Amino acid sequence: MMPFPSNAACLPGDLRKECIGVYKVPIDDRVLPYVSTPEALQKFAPDLQYVPPIVAPDSVPQAWDILETQRLAAVDIQNVVQAGRLEEAGIKVLNLVPKVTSSGKVVLEDSLKRISKNASSSSSSVVDEMVMDRLQSQWDMVLGLWGESDVMIGQGLRGDMGVSAVAQIQILNQLKDATAALDDFMASAALASGKGKSN
């Protein structure tokens, strides 16, 4: 495998191979003023390549649709890794992570609001608090495992994980864990919201 130069950081949604496994600027409203236009980025972070900010879904049903589409993409990424095409897998992860992040936030906030609303009208507030904590924890796990998948693919491409076959096995296991975490989060969020994607 040929080494390639790596950037210190990339914006979410930047699908260049140089962004595989490097730090991503968070998808955060507080960061948006600094990166939302090419001019702002040039002023505050001239070393970063501009990409348009990730737009959050307009509605909860749209967020669910995006999550379900990205769940299918997760299986495709595993197949690409099995075929030994790590760079392609890395670019697909670069595409998946911001979509899962922005859509998952919408689904998480909706689910937490629904649980909180139910808690205020019932006597099971301790149980509801535990459900909310579990949902938040599952979401944090999704973000962490997909971020680690990105880093691990970058390490595999650089040869930091030894021979290609060993790297493929480790990356594949990591992707399976990340996909399982996404499944768990989606199942819990659907249960918490009462109707899931049909809201």
Q: pLDDT, tens digit, for every residue of 22-48?
A: 999 887 878 888 888 999 988 888 888
- Total residue count of the chain as it appears in this document: 199
Let me know whether 40 and 117 are in one domain.
Answer: no
36-50, 84-98, 115-129: segment of lowest average pLDDT: 115-129
Q: Does some domain include residue 6?
A: no
pLDDT tens profile 2-19: 444 445 789 999 999 999
Q: What is the DSSP letter of 21?
A: T
Q: Give the per-residue pLDDT at 172.
A: 97
Q: Which two tokens stand for residue 89?
A: 């897998």
Let me know whether 31 and 62 are in one domain.
Answer: no
Q: What is the DSSP letter of 195?
A: S
Let me know whether 101 and 165 are in one domain.
Answer: yes
Q: Look at residues 56, 72, 94 and tell me which one is the last residue of a structural domain.
A: 56
Let me know whether 132 and 179 are in one domain.
Answer: yes
Helix, strand and coil percent figures for the chain, each rounded to 5: 70, 0, 30
Contact 77, 31 (CB under 8 A): no
Let me know whether 68 and 115 are in one domain.
Answer: yes
Domain that holds residue 42: 27-56
Domain tally for the chain?
2
